[in-house]
A and B are shown apart, each in its own frame.
Chain A
């Protein structure tokens, strides 16, 4: 099975963020890491390859720093990588990223495209779905399990309140993977060393520019929410406090 994994480099989780000058995105001087669900998508692709043979290719779009994501993936066992390298990719909306990916892989024949469920930074959860639309393939989201079935695959989707849905899918398909579907492996020293000699194709902005359209989504303004939460300490004897608390819950909060 030939699998493509779409990956993204995002600001490190819990990193203190600072807004850029125009307050449309965060400043570059933060730590970056692999988008969490993408790491699970990669792990799932590697496991499918170990079971069924084939090839795992990883792709990302972003500035030079984003190459780190691909190198980590190659070190963990991906066979080759594609880097759409340009600062401008950061400003594209999900539809345009999907268009850029589709254009970059137009000469390849994948059986499966995996993406993370959503990105930790924008959180649109759209790139995978739109990529399926552009390719004219079937897709399924929030995947918790994949197994082969009758030449196609059967997947398990996570629904609300502990419910799951099983869906039979044809190949090729696009699946967006939920974090926690598997247990992530560590890169090994030998893997890191071998990764240096694995092919990494760079794709320039110009090579995919003809496939792009004006962004349909732009960020007008980013701001840090003002804290409106107020804490009130009720004092007095236990009986008094209980009375006052009940009164507040009934009359002010109206939850009783």
Chain B
């Protein structure tokens, strides 16, 4: 198996840039729009000393903006009201939230909470398709004169010592054995004064940067969940537009963290999905199976009866919270949105925070363009801007929310009550946390645990109507890649897969990957009779493998730009 690695001895064409934003999601788009607004205002006020947008670029690995965006999604309008007053009249909105409810599920029943807990009340929020929303923002950015390079991934950061000096885009036309094809195009070196990482959850460049500079040593490790989503079309009147339902409990047990959402959109579409915390103990847990079992619960099955699944996708979300966020700015770089963990895990919302963080980064970048200083002393002020904004007011009080669930559901609920009573402080100001993969138990420790958890474990079979096997679901993600290219799931030591991992954890990659990328194939010459086989073309870019692999030997790097899922309407 040959993995995608930087090619040696290649000349890379160079392009000068003032600002490069990596990632065309809500954070990146808001950043570009805000920067353009500031430049426009400056240029009007200072004729003769205009700033140009000519050399401001956005890189987006999807074939077009929005293609890789996946979320529930509920939008808290706070930051949009600041960014584009009047946005409601032209933005694609599915529905304004009309009702919200929370259910606790047992195997057979669903108990409705008498009142929805305040953090989960959603009046004034909007059900949106994040794909359509990002696409709309993208068109706005195009109008400003800022150039979006869609179909181009940021594959490496360029350094000048410890200073980030820009981004290298992906090499195109590289074959399976890492050799150039006839139409090879080397990646560009975008030499940028300011590089803003807006890559989304578990960004690959963000991971490179924080690793190289050791940025997260004094932070809590980031923790994640993976959201597996299906879009359904239901018979008219089943779920009202703007109806919001959250559930806790079944199919998860008290030892896993997570829950489901059901959002009513327009035209009888319903977004439903299940977030499984990537800190579960049983290595056979399969998040796609969790969603299928959830749909089989009588409460949900009745809702979906006679409907049709139209689209599928999966994406991780960072919910480690305040103590696990990396530093936000340094020499030549800033980090925004999900890449930095701007997400409120108690409210299950992050889009408004991603947008706001992008706007604050734009303000920081603008000051830098004026002063000519893009060092840490300038770009590091993003942290102060965040601290002075409502982001901190929202995130700091819930700083210990997720850590409270490390010891299971019940102590988590008790802790939530305690935190709410003490303004988020609880028993100490900073609760520690552990990386989710460290909590996975070896096979010998989970023997006999299967019984109450069989609905989570192993592959879902699927009946083709209500439930689906992984490949059927995957087909509905519209995922496509150039087939003749090296594997972009870089496994640093495949021997571990066949030896230690097979014995200790039973190769959990086969189960946690929601896109069937990882398979163990029969091989008589392999130590335990089986060897890892990859289907990189299936990858939906969710990053679960990079996060949850117990040996941390998988690194997700971007495949050839343009490849990936097609989350139309998701």
Whether A15 contacts B566 in the complex (CB less than 8 A), given A189-B15, A189-B169, A190-B13, comes out as yes
- Whether A16 lies near B475 (C-beta < 8 A) is yes
The answer to the question of A203 belonging to the interface, with a C-beta cut-off of 8 Å to chain B, is: no
A1-37 CB contact bits vs B (8 Å, 1 = yes)?
A: 0000000000011111010000000000111010000
- Whether A31 lies near B566 (C-beta < 8 A) is yes
The answer to the question of B327 belonging to the interface, with a C-beta cut-off of 8 Å to chain A, is: no
Q: Which residues of A contact B163 (CB under 8 A)?
A: none
Q: Which residues of A contact B169 (CB under 8 A)?
A: 189
Q: When chains A and B are docked, how far (Å) is the Cα of A184 from the Cα of B173?
A: 10
Min CB–CB distance A108 → chain B (angstroms): 28
- Whether B183 lies near A185 (C-beta < 8 A) is yes
Secondary structure class of chain A's binding surface, majority of residues = loop
Q: Which residues of B contact A31 (CB under 8 A)?
A: 63-64, 67, 478, 566, 568
- Whether B63 lies near A33 (C-beta < 8 A) is yes
- Give the number of residues in B that approach A within 8 Å (Cβ atoms): 27
A158-190 CB contact bits vs B (8 Å, 1 = yes)?
A: 000000000000000000000000011111111
Q: When chains A and B are docked, how far (Å) is the Cα of A188 from the Cα of B147?
A: 13
Min CB–CB distance A205 → chain B (angstroms): 22
Most buried by B among A12, A68, A187: A187
The answer to the question of B476 belonging to the interface, with a C-beta cut-off of 8 Å to chain A, is: yes
Min CB–CB distance B35 → chain A (angstroms): 18
Min CB–CB distance A40 → chain B (angstroms): 12
Residue in B147, B181, B188, B310 whose beta carbon sits within 8 Å of that of A16 in the complex: B310
- Whether B15 lies near A29 (C-beta < 8 A) is no
- Whether B182 lies near A192 (C-beta < 8 A) is no
- Whether B185 lies near A185 (C-beta < 8 A) is yes
Q: When chains A and B are docked, how far (Å) is the Cα of A183 from the Cα of B175?
A: 14
The answer to the question of B569 belonging to the interface, with a C-beta cut-off of 8 Å to chain A, is: yes
Q: Looking across the interface, which residue of chain A has its beta carbon closest to that of B567?
A: A31
Q: When chains A and B are docked, how far (Å) is the Cα of A29 from the Cα of B15?
A: 36
Q: Which residues of A contact B15 (CB under 8 A)?
A: 189-190
Whether A188 contacts B310 in the complex (CB less than 8 A), given A29-B568, A31-B67, A31-B566, comes out as no
Min CB–CB distance A85 → chain B (angstroms): 15
Min CB–CB distance A71 → chain B (angstroms): 10
The answer to the question of A196 belonging to the interface, with a C-beta cut-off of 8 Å to chain B, is: yes
The answer to the question of A250 belonging to the interface, with a C-beta cut-off of 8 Å to chain B, is: no
Q: When chains A and B are docked, how far (Å) is the Cα of A186 from the Cα of B15?
A: 17
- Whether A68 lies near B149 (C-beta < 8 A) is no
The answer to the question of A201 belonging to the interface, with a C-beta cut-off of 8 Å to chain B, is: no
Q: When chains A and B are docked, how far (Å) is the Cα of A190 from the Cα of B190?
A: 11
Q: Which residues of B contact A185 (CB under 8 A)?
A: 183, 185
Q: Which residues of B contact A188 (CB under 8 A)?
A: 13, 185, 188
The answer to the question of A193 belonging to the interface, with a C-beta cut-off of 8 Å to chain B, is: yes
- Whether A15 lies near B478 (C-beta < 8 A) is yes
- Whether A14 lies near B188 (C-beta < 8 A) is no
Range, interface on chain A: 20 to 34
Residue in A12, A184, A189, A196 whose beta carbon sits within 8 Å of that of B478 in the complex: A12
- Whether A16 lies near B182 (C-beta < 8 A) is no
Whether A189 contacts B152 in the complex (CB less than 8 A), given A14-B478, A196-B147, comes out as yes
The answer to the question of B530 belonging to the interface, with a C-beta cut-off of 8 Å to chain A, is: no
Min CB–CB distance A199 → chain B (angstroms): 17
Whether A186 contacts B172 in the complex (CB less than 8 A), given A15-B568, A18-B310, A193-B147, comes out as yes
Considering only residues 18-77 of chain A, those with a C-beta below 8 Å from chain B are: 18, 29-31, 33, 68
Q: Looking across the interface, which residue of chain B has its beta carbon closest to that of A33?
A: B63
Considering only residues 145-166 of chain B, those with a C-beta below 8 Å from chain A are: 147, 149, 151-152
Q: When chains A and B are docked, how far (Å) is the Cα of A40 from the Cα of B478?
A: 23
Q: Which residues of A contact B172 (CB under 8 A)?
A: 186
Q: Which residues of A contact B151 (CB under 8 A)?
A: 187
Whether A183 contacts B183 in the complex (CB less than 8 A), given A15-B478, A188-B188, A189-B15, comes out as yes
Q: Which residues of B contact A13 (CB under 8 A)?
A: 480
Considering only residues 286-300 of chain B, those with a C-beta below 8 Å from chain A are: none
Most buried by B among A16, A30, A184, A196: A16
Q: When chains A and B are docked, how far (Å) is the Cα of A18 from the Cα of B569?
A: 13
The answer to the question of B311 belonging to the interface, with a C-beta cut-off of 8 Å to chain A, is: yes
Q: Which residues of A contact B480 (CB under 8 A)?
A: 12-14
Q: When chains A and B are docked, how far (Å) is the Cα of A190 from the Cα of B63?
A: 17
- Whether A30 lies near B568 (C-beta < 8 A) is yes
Min CB–CB distance B152 → chain A (angstroms): 7
Min CB–CB distance B58 → chain A (angstroms): 12
Residue in B185, B190, B311, B568 whose beta carbon sits within 8 Å of that of A186 in the complex: B185
Most buried by A among B13, B188, B480: B480
- Whether B310 lies near A184 (C-beta < 8 A) is no
Whether A68 contacts B64 in the complex (CB less than 8 A), given A29-B568, A186-B172, comes out as yes
Q: Looking across the interface, which residue of chain B has its beta carbon closest to that of A184?
A: B183
- Whether B152 lies near A16 (C-beta < 8 A) is no
Min CB–CB distance A97 → chain B (angstroms): 25
Q: Which residues of B contact A189 (CB under 8 A)?
A: 13, 15, 149, 152, 169, 188, 190
Residue in B147, B182, B310 whose beta carbon sits within 8 Å of that of A183 in the complex: B182
Q: When chains A and B are docked, how far (Å) is the Cα of A146 from the Cα of B149?
A: 33
Q: When chains A and B are docked, how far (Å) is the Cα of A192 from the Cα of B149?
A: 7
Q: Looking across the interface, which residue of chain A has its beta carbon closest to that of B148?
A: A192
Min CB–CB distance B494 → chain A (angstroms): 30
Sample of 6 more A-B contacts, CB < 8 Å, known A186-B173, A189-B190, A190-B188: A15-B478, A15-B568, A31-B568, A183-B182, A186-B185, A190-B15
Top 9 nearest A-B pairs (CB, nearest first) are: A186-B172, A31-B566, A186-B185, A189-B188, A183-B183, A183-B182, A29-B569, A31-B568, A185-B183
List A residues at the B interface (Cβ < 8 Å): 12-16, 18, 29-31, 33, 68, 183-190, 192-193, 196
Jot down 28 A-B pairs with beta carbons below 8 A, ordered by A: A12-B480, A12-B566, A13-B480, A14-B478, A14-B480, A16-B310, A16-B475, A16-B476, A16-B478, A29-B568, A29-B569, A31-B67, A31-B568, A68-B64, A183-B182, A183-B183, A185-B185, A186-B173, A187-B151, A188-B185, A189-B13, A189-B152, A189-B169, A189-B190, A190-B15, A190-B188, A192-B147, A192-B149
